[in-house]
């Protein structure tokens, strides 16, 4: 009898375990749509006169929904699909595609499936996408963050990015107001106003991002400094967490990041340190510390590409989304964390940016090695030599994302230390 009871009990245990595994499985798959609510921007002006029935869209992602970066691409595409009334088999999403031959194979498979416009989201996908474009001239290949389209002369190959440095600057203003509030409350002194930043790679896209964020902070708190830690990976939950904890240990009073997991925001919530995020609304994982987040909304670009294919028209080889196109977005300010008056200040700065009266990289606001940057040759034409050829400074500011969509501001400005 005892034996039978033992068997039954162990069976229950096994089944229980299975059920438990099952639960976590559903959790991870349903966690993603949570952030859907944040992506409701207005690309609803789906022109009724365009016929989308012949369009088939492919998207190649480096990771899956668990990466905030890839999720941002996936959610925007699903939103556009909804708005344009595309059917399920008109949108194919391939996740976890490496930056190697598998990218080319996947692109070719999508062409086989009948896709006539294919997007890829990771920097390392570019050369494979370019090759696929050369081999399939009737299909449009659109690559985000890439640098080659404006010089490649391949008519069906496109690059796109957004002037996200403006969004980061705005997020920096909100962060600066928070730090100022801490100083005013006597929690910290102005000398302690050190910001921490978790970066992925020492690459222009990251450097441009943290520089603009820092300049935003410093437009409010003049004494602010910033410490940057690199994880040397785009997606590594443990490393990003470690980096955030190290920065907090070093005395940073606010953390922001440009890496694609929830590692840093979660560490901040644990330690009660305010956090500024990117591409994701972290209010759910950091109700007491998530301050604000900037995001590239890819919906306008998807719409541009899909519309062009539907109408048979051509579109930009290199496209930069802006605040005006709806590509650069600030996600909701968390009132619980933000300083008073943040919304009003952000509206004011945003208006100045849009009007062109304020420039993020105004050379009067920063120095490099103690000197004002009067001239800088940026490596805009990515010809493999890694030498700058385009004068980026004129009219008193650094012209980021104007000569090419992908960022090229890679100066290390005074006040920022890379650890």
Which stretches of 174-315 are assigned E, i.e. beta strand? 194-199, 225-230, 254-258, 275-278, 290-296
98 binds other proteins (CB under 8 A): yes
204 versus 220: smaller Cβ distance to other proteins: 204
201 versus 403: smaller Cβ distance to other proteins: 201
Residue 46 DSSP SS3: coil
CB 128 → other proteins: shortest distance, Å?
7
65 binds other proteins (CB under 8 A): yes
Report the chain's C-alpha Rg in angstroms.
Answer: 23
Which stretches of 112-261 are assigned E, i.e. beta strand? 117-120, 140-144, 157-162, 194-199, 225-230, 254-258
CB 156 → other proteins: shortest distance, Å?
17
Could you give the CA distance from residue 257 to residue 87 in angstroms, rounded to a whole number? Answer: 36
Report 126-185 residues binding other proteins (CB under 8 A): 126-128, 130-131
Contact characters 294-333, other proteins, x per CB under 8 A: ----------------------------------------
How many residues bind other proteins, per CB under 8 A? 42
- Check: CB of residue 114 under 8 Å from CB of residue 135: no
Pick the binder of other proteins from 5, 26, 138, 355 (CB under 8 A): 26
403 binds other proteins (CB under 8 A): no
- Check: CB of residue 285 under 8 Å from CB of residue 183: no
Identify which of 179, 140, 178 has the alpha carbon closest to the alpha carbon of residue 160. 140
In the block, tokens 């921490």 appear at 196
203 binds other proteins (CB under 8 A): yes
What backbone torsions phi and psi does residue 236 show, to the nearest 5 degrees? Answer: -155, 100
Q: Provide the residue count of the chain.
A: 419
Pick the binder of other proteins from 86, 92, 215, 254 (CB under 8 A): 92
386 binds other proteins (CB under 8 A): yes
Binding site for other proteins (CB under 8 A): 3, 7, 22, 25-26, 28-29, 32, 64-66, 88, 92-96, 98-101, 105, 108-109, 112, 123-124, 126-128, 130-131, 201-205, 207, 232, 379, 386, 410
């Amino acid at each position: 009898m005892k034996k039978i009871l033992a068997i039954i009990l162990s069976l229950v245990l096994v089944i229980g375990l299975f059920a438990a595994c099952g639960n976590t499985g559903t959790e991870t798959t349903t966690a993603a749509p949570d952030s859907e609510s944040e992506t409701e921007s207005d690309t609803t002006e789906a022109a009724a006169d365009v016929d989308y029935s012949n369009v088939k869209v492919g998207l190649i992602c480096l990771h899956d929904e668990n990466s905030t970066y890839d999720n941002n691409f996936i959610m925007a595409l699903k939103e556009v699909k909804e708005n344009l009334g595309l059917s399920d088999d008109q949108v194919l999403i391939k996740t976890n595609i490496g930056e190697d031959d598998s990218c080319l194979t996947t692109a070719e498979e999508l062409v086989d499936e009948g896709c006539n416009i294919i997007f890829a989201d990771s920097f390392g996908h570019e050369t494979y996408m370019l090759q696929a474009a050369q081999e399939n001239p009737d299909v449009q290949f659109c690559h985000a963050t890439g640098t080659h389209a404006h010089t490649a002369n391949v008519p069906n190959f496109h690059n796109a990015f957004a002037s996200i440095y403006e969004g980061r600057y705005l997020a920096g203003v909100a962060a600066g107001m928070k730090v100022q509030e801490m100083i005013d409350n006597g929690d910290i002194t102005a000398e302690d106003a050190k910001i921490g930043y978790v970066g992925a790679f020492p690459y222009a896209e990251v450097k441009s991002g943290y520089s603009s964020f820092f300049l935003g902070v410093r437009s409010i708190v003049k004494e602010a400094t910033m410490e940057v830690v690199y994880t040397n990976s785009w997606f590594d939950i443990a490393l990003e967490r470690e980096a955030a904890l190290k920065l907090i240990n070093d005395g940073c009073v606010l953390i922001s990041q440009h890496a694609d997991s929830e590692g840093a925001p979660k560490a901040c919530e644990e330690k009660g340190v305010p956090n500024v995020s990117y591409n994701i609304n972290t209010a759910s994982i950091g109700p007491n510390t998530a301050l604000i987040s900037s995001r590239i909304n890819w919906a306008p670009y998807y719409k541009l590409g899909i519309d062009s294919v539907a109408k048979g028209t051509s579109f930009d080889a290199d496209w930069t989304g802006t605040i005006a196109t709806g590509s650069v977005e600030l996600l909701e300010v968390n009132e619980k964390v933000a300083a008073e008056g943040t919304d009003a200040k952000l509206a004011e700065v945003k208006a100045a940016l849009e009007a062109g009266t304020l420039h993020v990289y105004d050379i009067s606001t920063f120095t490099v090695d103690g000197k004002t940057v009067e001239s800088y040759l940026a490596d805009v034409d990515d010809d493999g030599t890694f030498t700058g050829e385009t004068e980026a400074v004129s009219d008193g500011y650094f012209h980021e994302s104007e000569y090419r969509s992908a960022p090229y501001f890679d100066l290390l400005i005074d006040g920022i230390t890379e650890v």
